[in-house]
């Protein structure tokens, strides 16, 4: 039997060999350029200046590349990355089952569990690669546009407010990218979970997005404040907390454990169904 490394390498080759895998990367680049262009408009800059100056900070110092990168990330990551992670994860099993290549794989002397594990690992690699891409390109685009400067952070939903010099700010970005890889895996896992069932790839993607957006809507309604702690999107948003002056590691740890508890449960249920499923033409 070939090793897990070789199987994963070839699974990644399949994944990154498809054009649709790159839609997410392309879309983020486009949105970054679009947001930076919009932020050049005077009304946008005036609103930003008002926010900074009412808090006693200089616009020129903090309307910087690092701040713009944060703005881009907080406003795009949830909605766009959910879309593209769900698209790719929803394809992982369902598309191959639909195309018939999964039948070809499953007549090989390999356990279904192994096939599923390799696919899930590839899904996690994709998730991490998209997150690293988003953070790095947001930073590069922001810095190219306005230079490094200081970082001004304001995220009311998570209650985060802070100001940082360039060095400490980059350390926070480092924490953010690691945490993003860990927490957005839940979006991919959800897509992968639905993909294990007998359904079209598009259905797996739509179900994933529906669930996440409903979860987000509930989070945004103030009357449901008391149940926020049960919502996936509340915990997925914990990556922003690394930008708080005192990083609440305990609260972040809680969210990570909660999300991975969900991930493992989704995987167990989807995996059990996959192991018992009939594959016919």
Partner 1 sequence: MIHLDNLSKRFGKRLAVDALSLEIPTGSLYALLGHNGAGKSTTIGMMLGQVLPDSGRVVIGGHDVRLERKEALDQVGAIFETPSFYDYLSGRRNLEIFCSYSRAVTLAEMEEAIAMVGLQKRIDDPVRMYSHGMRQRLALAQALLPRPKVLILDEPSEGLDPEGIHEMRELIQSLHARFDLTVLVCSHLLAEVEIICPQVAILRGGRLLFHGEWRGAEPGCASLEEFYLKTVRAGREDE
Positions in the binding site for partner 1 (CB under 8 A): 1-2, 6-7, 10, 13-14, 17-19, 99-101, 103-111, 114-115, 276, 278-281
Q: Which residue number, 80 or 110, has a Cβ lying nearer to partner 1?
A: 110
CB of 271 to partner 1, least distance (A): 15
In whole angstroms, what is the distance from residue 281 CA to residue 279 CA? 7
Burial class (CB in 10 A: 0-12, 13-18, 19+), 166: middle
Q: Which residue number, 260 or 279, has a Cβ lying nearer to partner 1?
A: 279
CB of 11 to partner 1, least distance (A): 8
Q: Which residue number, 38 or 104, has a Cβ lying nearer to partner 1?
A: 104
CB of 3 to partner 1, least distance (A): 9
Q: Which residue number, 79 or 113, has a Cβ lying nearer to partner 1?
A: 113
Provide the β-strand partners of residue 154: 161
In whole angstroms, what is the distance from residue 245 CA to residue 178 CA? 18
Q: Which residue number, 6 or 50, has a Cβ lying nearer to partner 1?
A: 6
Contact 281/103 with Cβ under 8 angstroms?
Answer: yes
In whole angstroms, what is the distance from residue 91 CA to residue 191 CA? 8
Residue in this structure with the two tokens 């179900």, named with its chain if needed: 207
Q: Which residues of 77-97 are buried (b: 16+ CB within 10 A; e: fewer)?
A: bbebbbbbbbbbbbbbbbbbb
CB of 115 to partner 1, least distance (A): 7
CB of 195 to partner 1, least distance (A): 17
3-state SS assignment for residue 154: strand
């Amino acid at each position: 039997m070939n090793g897990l490394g070789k199987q994963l390498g070839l699974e990644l080759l399949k994944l990154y060999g498809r054009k649709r895998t790159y839609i997410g990367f392309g879309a983020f680049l486009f949105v970054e350029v679009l947001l930076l262009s919009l932020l050049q408009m005077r009304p946008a800059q005036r609103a930003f200046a008002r926010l900074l100056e009412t808090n006693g900070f200089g616009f020129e110092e903090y309307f910087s590349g690092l701040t713009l990168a944060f703005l881009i990330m907080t406003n795009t990551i949830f909605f766009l990355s959910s879309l593209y992670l769900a698209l790719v994860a929803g394809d992982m099993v369902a598309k191959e089952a639909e195309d018939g290549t999964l039948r070809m794989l499953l007549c090989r002397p390999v356990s279904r569990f192994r096939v599923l594990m390799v696919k899930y690992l590839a899904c996690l690699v994709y998730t991490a690669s998209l997150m690293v891409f988003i953070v790095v390109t947001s930073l590069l685009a922001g810095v190219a546009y306005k230079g490094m400067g200081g970082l001004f952070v304001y995220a009311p939903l998570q209650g985060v407010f802070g100001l940082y010099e360039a060095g400490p700010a980059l350390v926070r970005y480092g924490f953010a990218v690691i945490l993003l890889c860990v927490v957005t895996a839940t979006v991919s896992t959800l897509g992968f979970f639905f993909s294990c069932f007998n359904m079209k790839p598009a259905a797996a993607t739509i179900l994933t997005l529906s669930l996440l957006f409903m979860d987000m809507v509930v989070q945004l309604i103030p009357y449901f404040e008391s149940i926020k702690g049960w919502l996936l999107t509340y915990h997925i948003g914990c990556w922003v907390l690394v930008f708080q002056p005192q990083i609440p590691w305990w609260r972040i740890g809680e969210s990570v454990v909660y999300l991975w508890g969900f991930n493992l449960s989704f995987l167990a249920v989807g995996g059990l169904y996959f192991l018992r499923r009939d594959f016919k033409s």
